[in-house]
Structure 1
């Protein structure tokens, strides 16, 4: 499986930060010693705030300045993190160049994931949407903007779906509020096609569970926004959470305590949800009811 670029960026950041602080350097001092600007050093050490790729030559100069032996395991490990973090990314290819910054962040955290635990409240997450559902939602958000072109965004969502849900080796678990399947944010025929699509995705590492409106939630705590808890095959690559804030691009949560809290929240939602079989039956029932309105 391809390593996750952001996970390796975070491993690189931690390694360089530890080396710098162990030498007692601040950013300005390491900049003078290495010839790499303090802003670049800060960016490498804070990859979640700046998702640009690290430059291998810059990292090598920093390692030399930090007196890491070139033939050491430490040098090899940090160089490997940098190479993995800087590898080509499918979303940079021409067909996906205009799929949106928020979606680009989602693709970044999903890449090479071992598991994605998704939660959605009122709308279905992009990674399971049909082209028609996605297109309607994108145009609804665009409003009267005549320049709005949904197709690059649709293409990005479908490619993410292929890689994460239908053809990849990622374990995908989606917890949906009942409102997400009963509400009609798109025309009835499109919604029915979408619900049938959800049913077709279930199985082979894909679980879709519905939380009934009257479900009891442990501790009474409910999520405020859709989120995805993502973990990776390498146990040393820390999990991360992407929170879908409507007003801004996807926010990344990296603090281990907060990430664990989101994982526990997802498990509480799972306990409140219907079983896989009962969830599928409810989705099928709602889909069938839409047939009479078409």
Structure 2
């Protein structure tokens, strides 16, 4: 499986920061020695300021030379390998996905190469499980100073994210949904019916778990998340897990280990408060039947 580029970018930044600190260089001093700007060094060491930015391989090699890391050494090879993984081509680099949106691009970046995606959603189904029709209606429903007039690039992005993860069985996917996400109709009835049936089909795939939290569930104090989010881990244990939170205007990345661990614990408590996988499937199937009877 292709390594997650953001995880490798973070590890690259941490390695270069540690070397610069050990050598006692400031950004400016190292920049002068390497022949690159201090701002490039800062951005490379702190990639979350612009998580989609790819590190420059030449810049990384110049930094390693300036930091007196012997070429061909184990340390050089390891850091160069991180840089190559971080700079690798990504499916969303293709022309078909250039207009899928910055927020969705961040989600795709976090999801790439994941081993587990533990997601929570409240009123709306998350983009990674949406049908084309559901996604199209939701995109067009967005209002603001610059409403979307052509939803298709965003829809294509959501469908490809699904194919790359949930639909392809490449990641263990655990979704916890509030009951309202199934019962509420944010799209026309026939679109919602198709979406519920699609969700049931996904639940039959390997590694996919969907659980419904009823409105009368009693999970205890503090177990109600404030926003949709996803806790993501990777096959390489050295690639740190990350949480991406949907805060409406953009995707917020949480990387602090304590906070990330807290989200993992929250997800487990929500799963325990929810209906079982089997009972959740029965619930969704019943909701679909009731909806079909109204069409």
Bin of the TM-score, shorter chain as denominator length? over 0.9
Is 2:93 the partner of 1:108?
A: no
TM-score by length of 1: 0.97
Q: 1:144 Cα shift?
A: 9.9
SS at match of 1:223: coil
Q: Which runs of 5+ in 1 are unaligned?
A: none
Deviation larger for 217-226 or 77-86: 217-226
SS of alignment partner, residue 165 of structure 2: helix
Structure 2 gaps of 5+ residues are none
2-side partners of 1:91 and 1:147: how far apart?
19
How many Å separate the matches in 2 of 1:193 and 1:30? 57
Partner of residue 224 from structure 2, selected from 222, 225, 228: 222
Q: Specify the alignment match of 1:6 in structure 2.
A: 6
SS state of the match for residue 220, structure 1? coil
Secondary structure at the counterpart of residue 219 of structure 1: coil
> What is aligned with 1:37?
37
Q: Distance in 2 between matches of 1:91 and 1:277?
A: 35
**2:233 corresponds to which residue?**
231
Q: How many Å apart are 1:33 and its aligned residue?
A: 1.4
SS in 2 for 1:229: strand
The CA deviation string for residues 223-275 of structure 1, in whole angstroms up to 9 with x for no partner, is 000000000000000000000011x2100001101100111111110110100
User: Cα 1:23–1:144, aligned 2, differ >3 Å: closer, same or farther?
Assistant: closer
Report how far residue 216 of structure 1 moved: 1.0
Query: Cα–Cα, structure 1 residues 150 and 93, in superposed 2: closer, same or farther, change >3 Å?
Result: same
Residue 131 (structure 1) aligned with residue 132 (structure 2) = yes
Distance 1:257 1:212 in 2: 29
* 1:142-177, Cα deviation, whole Å (9 max, x unpaired): 479786100000000000000110114200000000
- Give the whole-Å Cα distance in 2 for the aligned partners of 1:172 and 1:61: 40
Separation (CA, whole Å) in 1 of partners of 2:162 and 2:198: 12
1:57-136 to structure 2, matched below 5 A, reads 57-136=58-137
1:25: Cα distance to partner? 1.2
Shift of 1:188: 0.6
In the alignment of these two chains, the number of paired residues is: 293
Q: Secondary structure at the match of 1:176?
A: strand
What is the Cα deviation at residue 293 of structure 1?
Answer: 1.5
Partner residue in 2 for 1:174: 175
Say if 2:57 and 2:83, in contact at 8 Å, map to a contact too.
yes
Deviation at 1:34, TM superposition (A): 1.0
1:215 Cα offset (Å): 0.6
| Structure 2: distance between partners of 1:144 and 1:20 | 44
Task: Tell me if structure 1 keeps the 8 A contact 2:134–2:187.
Answer: yes
Once residues 258 and 144 of structure 1 are traced to their aligned partners in structure 2, the CA distance between those partners, rounded to angstroms, is 33
Could you say if the C-alpha distance between residues 274 and 76 of structure 1 is closer, same or farther in structure 2, counting changes exceeding 3 Å? same
RMSD over equivalenced CA pairs, Å = 1.3
Of residues 231, 245, 248, the one that matches 2:247 is 245
Which residues of 2 match residues 250-265 of structure 1 at below 5 A?
A: 250-265=251-266
Q: Is the 8 A contact 1:115 1:231 kept in 2?
A: yes
| Residues 39 and 161 of structure 1, relative CA distance in 2, 3 Å threshold | same
The change in CA–CA distance for 1:40 and 1:185 in structure 2 (over 3 A counts) is: same
Instruction: Judge conservation of contact 1:20–1:66 (CA < 8 Å) in 2.
Output: yes
